[in-house]
Amino acid sequence: MKKKSLSAKKTIAKNFNFKEILKDKKIFEIFRVFEENFKKLKNTKKIAVSVSGGPDSLALCFLVSCFKFLNNSKIHLLFYLIDHGLRKGSGEEAKIVKKHLNSKKINLKILKWNGKKPHSNLQSIARQKRYEILFKECKKLNIKTVLTAHHQDDFYETFFSRLLRGSGTEGLSSFAELEKKFFITGNEITLARPLLSIRKENLIYIANKVFNFYIVDPYNEIEKFQRVRIRKLILNLKNQGLNFDKLIITLNNLASSNKALREIVENNISTNVIFVKKKYLIKPEFFSFPDEIVFRSLTILLKKLNKKYYPPRGKKISNLINEIKNKPYIKATLGGTIIEKLHNSVIITEEKTKKR
């Protein structure tokens, strides 16, 4: 565990002096970018802010608090940190972050991941579990929007990661969107990323200037994790002169194409799907669209019913679509749902788990 300044001897201000801090020209310019992005968000009456203790999330805590103060806003902000319990001392680390934020009059709530921990695919499972825990808390408190500290560097890393996985237009471009909706445990949650156009180095600057503290995740240096290897690849590409401004233009073009495809998907669902008695009744015309449209449409329906952060794997969905198109009758289970085809119509219902 590495920390940027944990000295108990240092005097920490009792609260933010926003006007004084914004006299720093660099912080002021960063705040203006954040403010512009934040004003585009919807459902901002009650917001959950996801905190890790890293420089990105601490900068987010300051920027959203600053926005609330300067705009005399009635936004209700709730700050959460998920203690995964994957590293020794993570609980103590979470308490230290809580102490620093409390000193700035930010009340941080720590949510713990209890239960058995994975031994493989660690980062992916931890990320999924983090959202599950956070979204569950949001449902209890009727929170519709979650702010995350994803920034421009994350944007690049996610693009290359999905490119290596062979993702399509949706996967390659969706991370470029300011907001993304999820349907978790029957509740619609918007994941918002108002820092997406801000570089990490600028967020580190804010964390240093405002808090004089942040946590450095040791996993960020372990090369067995793909994201760490991609991060180093990007650094090398930058050193070789790759123009990332042009990459952003390409990704924005992809996002525009993806938006058009999404509108077709929404039309397919609204026209050819009937929701009644917790079942989706799907007309034959639903499957007459091109494969990409059918794939996306069915993925949305499965996610809405299975109430999980991630849909089933793409290959399984593709195989299911192929069976539906080519077999007169099927009955299958996938991702917590039951899919049955009979007389050219398809019915999807939630798979009920047996009580022990």
How far is Cα of residue 269 from the mean position of the Cα atoms in its chain?
24
Q: Computed from CA positions of residues 18, 103, 57, 234, in that sequence, does the dihedral angle turn out positive or negative? A: positive
Q: pLDDT band for position 222 (50/70/90)?
A: low
Question: Pick from 296, 299, 274: which is nearest to 284 by CA?
Answer: 274
Q: Above 80 in pLDDT, residue 272?
A: yes
Q: What is the DSSP letter of 145?
A: E
Residue with tokens 């964390």: 207
Percent of the chain with pLDDT over 90: 46
Question: Pick from 148, 163, 153: which is nearest to 59 by CA?
Answer: 148
Q: pLDDT band for position 311 (50/70/90)?
A: low
What is residue 20's three-state secondary structure? helix
Give the length of the chain: 356
Does pTM top 0.85 for this prediction?
no
Q: pLDDT band for position 233 (50/70/90)?
A: confident
- Please tell me which residue, 5 or 180, carries the higher pLDDT value: 180
Q: Above 70 in pLDDT, residue 349?
A: yes
End-to-end Cα separation, the chain, in angstroms? 41
How many C-alpha atoms does 173 have within 13 Å on its Cβ side?
17
Which residue pairs, CB below 8 angstroms and at least 24 apart, start in 229-235?
A: 230/157, 230/160, 230/161, 230/164, 231/153, 231/157, 233/160, 234/153, 234/156, 234/157, 234/160
Domains and their CATH numbers in the chain = 2-242 (3.40.50.620), 261-350 (3.30.465)
The neighbour count for residue 102, using CB atoms within 10 Å, is 12
Determine the pLDDT at residue 356: 43
Question: Pick from 149, 188, 169, 176: which is nearest to 300 by CA?
Answer: 188
Query: Bridge partners of 341?
Result: 330, 346
Average pLDDT taken over every residue of the chain: 85
Determine the pLDDT at residue 8: 32
pLDDT in tens, 176-211: 788 887 765 556 889 999 999 999 999 999 999 999
Q: Answer yes or no: are the C-beta atoms of 48 and 55 closer than 8 Å.
A: no
Q: pLDDT band for position 309 (50/70/90)?
A: low
pLDDT in tens, 86-109: 778 888 999 999 999 999 999 999
Compute CA distances 103 → 7, 47, 143, 172, 331, whole Å.
14, 21, 25, 40, 57
